[in-house]
């Protein structure tokens, strides 16, 4: 497991976890960022660090900026991430660029 983050003035602005999975692929998530610009910087770093590896990212479809950012960077759409709620829905779409897994969020 590898943590990647952007730190500015002793404050984390974005972070992601990259985890090895079966058959040599790497899962990215969670991926949280204060804004799109910082998210793009972090994604560029992850792509650079794992340039020879297969990356899988579970992007919440409600974050259209994240979806478009992934498509611009060569990722392919496979299937939607299922999100279920009980009670009040949390507004995560603005800062969440990838989930850990469907069952964990």
For residues 103 and 86, give the distance between their C-alpha atoms in angstroms, rounded to a whole number. 14
For residues 48 and 42, give the distance between their C-alpha atoms in angstroms, rounded to a whole number. 10
- What pLDDT, on the 0 to 100 scale, is given for residue 105? 45
- Domain assignment present for residue 39? The answer is yes
CATH number at 45 reads 3.40.630.30
- Domain assignment present for residue 53? The answer is yes
Domain that holds residue 58: 2-98
- What pLDDT, on the 0 to 100 scale, is given for residue 90? 64
Tally of domains in the chain: 1
**What is the end-to-end Cα distance of the chain in Å, rounded?**
17
For residues 70 and 64, give the distance between their C-alpha atoms in angstroms, rounded to a whole number. 10
- Domain assignment present for residue 63? The answer is yes
- Domain assignment present for residue 105? The answer is no
- Domain assignment present for residue 91? The answer is yes
Please report, in tens digits, the pLDDT of each residue of the chain (105 residues total).
888 989 888 999 999 999 999 889 999 999 999 999 999 999 999 999 999 999 999 998 888 999 999 999 999 988 766 666 678 766 666 788 888 765 444
- Domain assignment present for residue 71? The answer is yes
List C-alpha distances in Å: 87 to 10, 52, 94, 99.
35, 42, 20, 20
């Amino acid at each position: 497991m590898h943590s990647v983050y952007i730190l500015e003035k002793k404050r984390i602005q974005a972070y992601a976890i990259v985890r090895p999975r079966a058959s040599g692929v790497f899962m990215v998530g969670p991926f949280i960022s204060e804004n799109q610009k910082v998210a793009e910087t972090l994604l560029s770093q992850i792509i650079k660090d794992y340039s020879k590896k297969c990356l899988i990212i579970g992007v919440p479809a409600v974050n259209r900026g994240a979806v478009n950012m992934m498509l611009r960077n060569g990722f392919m759409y496979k299937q939607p991430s299922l999100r279920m709620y009980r009670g009040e829905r949390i507004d995560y779409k603005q800062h969440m660029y990838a989930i850990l897994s469907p069952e964990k969020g």
